[in-house]
Structure 1
């Protein structure tokens, strides 16, 4: 056992040396955990921001002016007037996301107690912005009409007092969500890519033959690649969480970083094993990239890191329970967002241990067959 651990340690040092000598991979790790996290967090926003609004005003009354004056930045850009015959062409070209159309005698009909119709055309290409923006505009119009009819600019009293308390993200800031999720997804991507690339690099450089004649076992080679590449990823992820997410973006981390690192280590055993498994079916980096791409897309898109698991079909939720990324995302969200402790996330930890053992054994069996066929 002592000799096995010694071999694993020395082979791991060799892996770290090979990684250090590969500037492309160093640049990739740096980019993925710094610039990529920052650009995605600040650029890919989920809330409505600077949405373009146009209007066709047949009434030109004080009420329509009041409604248009309430549509304000930063949620919306200042509304721009257009002619009725320009609505279709402007929306076809993507110039405006929302177009309001006020009918003639709109104010008079409101004051007379009739129910005139306001047409709101929405470009639903971007569904989240379209849906949320339409709700915001409806609220603005309803509030301004109610204030105009009552002649009182104060908030209209409701029969109930609804108190909304957003937990874990008081300002509903998408940066808080996307920045952390980007790190979690990048851990998955790099774990597969780095370990797979390490094995393929051995073949391309001809060093796999050196390993075959050395007194080392496939398990020692595989575990060495896992701990060496996993260590680089864990260090990069923790630094990114501290320097980029907490310091640069100002996103608070609610839970225990050591507990997060512990779960990440368990998760890395499975995804790094997956990377080696995929690499055994390929002979070059282009082949490995083509094989890994659909696997990574499914693991990230259906893990719950982008859309909630509850919004997926039940059968798909059940299938994704076999993916370690699903449990890692739930584990990471509970700790980093909600400050959960071990008593809350232990189930996900146990499942990740089981899946990691399964992925490792399957990958080791395939790796042994590959090594045996290369002798």
Structure 2
């Protein structure tokens, strides 16, 4: 290997990427604006649900239950009604997400410690919103009943769990979404940049010109692999500021983060080079890249929990570099984990990336 030729190729690739406004816009957009926008828009936390109320009791207890339901940011009181029929139009038009009906004698039954039922109607047209609204109401009414029961009995006998939540005390999904978007942005860039750069050489005819120069295949291969990894790794640094603005703590080591991210990005770049070797136009490269990205995205655990997948898909998800990339960033940022805890994911990335890198090199060498 000739260092002069290699550094010349690296300089050419860096100059080509950094003077392309489309590439610069894509890099900046994916690693800053899209992380913030998708985190705030795609978060799974459901807030400010529109709650309708029918209070047949109008007692201090019913007013206390109403206050408990609407005191947090889960529900906002969207209307008071006298009957379910009157509130039905609100559910049909989307002005209400849920309806709570408090029966007559509610306060007297609560005060005497007797069982009492509260009617709940939830708009099930959006299953995710409906399930969360139902869970919120069940949790809040159970907490209300327990507090009232303890107050009336003047005792705290029994087993009471003392729950402490580590790493995400508020149980919001924003932090995980932000870190998942960070991993996804880096992965997408590391796949698309080398694929697009290599195919552009084919379309412009410059690859044929390079072949008649003293440049060797392995030098050109490294010249196409190293710049996308370096640019993507550098573009993740502004993402740290975005994560800070989204209140995502960095409890781990930045050095460990950059080292493991480089390993993660190598597997993504290998996919990009493989795509570039089997396509001839930019359109083909982009379509093939997205065709490979979406299955890996769905198997990463960022769209739905891996535990909820069928067993065979859980096993298949181990082959997704994105799954291990997300596990690494969440472990580093939220848990303060180091190599002692993250080495299984680093090993998995090495085992995934090595055959991908070898396959892309062999295919590239065959076409050289």
Question: TM-score by structure 1 length?
Answer: 0.87
In structure 2, the residue matched to 1:76 is: 75
- How big is the shift at 1:256? 1.2
| Inter-partner Cα distance in structure 1 for 2:164 and 2:143 | 22
1:123 matches 2:123 = yes
Distance 1:124 1:256, change over 3 A: farther
| Inter-partner Cα distance in structure 1 for 2:151 and 2:191 | 64
Alignment root-mean-square deviation, CA: 2.6
Once the two structures are overlaid, the 10-residue window that deviates more, 119-128 or 109-118, is 109-118
In structure 2, the residue matched to 1:97 is: 97
- How big is the shift at 1:203? 2.3
Distance 1:33 1:101, change over 3 A: same
Which of 276, 294, 299 is 1:297 aligned to?
294
In structure 2, the residue matched to 1:134 is: 134
SS in 1 for 2:121: strand
| Inter-partner Cα distance in structure 1 for 2:193 and 2:66 | 54
Kept in 1: contact 2:276–2:285 (CA 8 A): yes
| Inter-partner Cα distance in structure 1 for 2:101 and 2:315 | 46
Kept in 2: contact 1:260–1:335 (CA 8 A): yes
- How big is the shift at 1:352? 1.7
1:1-375 equivalences under 5 Å are 1=1, 3=2, 5-71=3-69, 72-82=71-81, 83-107=83-107, 115-145=115-145, 157=156, 159-241=158-240, 243-246=241-244, 248-371=245-368
Distance 1:139 1:175, change over 3 A: closer
Kept in 2: contact 1:33–1:240 (CA 8 A): yes
- How big is the shift at 1:50? 1.0
- How big is the shift at 1:182? 1.1
Once the two structures are overlaid, the 10-residue window that deviates more, 117-126 or 141-150, is 141-150
Once the two structures are overlaid, the 10-residue window that deviates more, 336-345 or 117-126, is 117-126
Question: TM-score by structure 2 length?
Answer: 0.89
- How big is the shift at 1:196? 0.9
| Inter-partner Cα distance in structure 2 for 1:299 and 1:33 | 19
Unaligned runs of 5+ in 1: none
| Inter-partner Cα distance in structure 1 for 2:150 and 2:155 | 9
Once the two structures are overlaid, the 10-residue window that deviates more, 17-26 or 302-311, is 302-311
- 1:43-80, CA deviations, whole angstroms, 9 ceiling, x for partnerless residues? 33333321111123344444333321222242211241
Distance 1:294 1:48, change over 3 A: same
Once the two structures are overlaid, the 10-residue window that deviates more, 19-28 or 42-51, is 42-51
- How big is the shift at 1:312? 2.1
Distance 1:156 1:287, change over 3 A: farther
Count of residues in correspondence between the two structures = 366
Distance 1:6 1:316, change over 3 A: farther
| Inter-partner Cα distance in structure 1 for 2:352 and 2:316 | 14
- How big is the shift at 1:184? 0.8
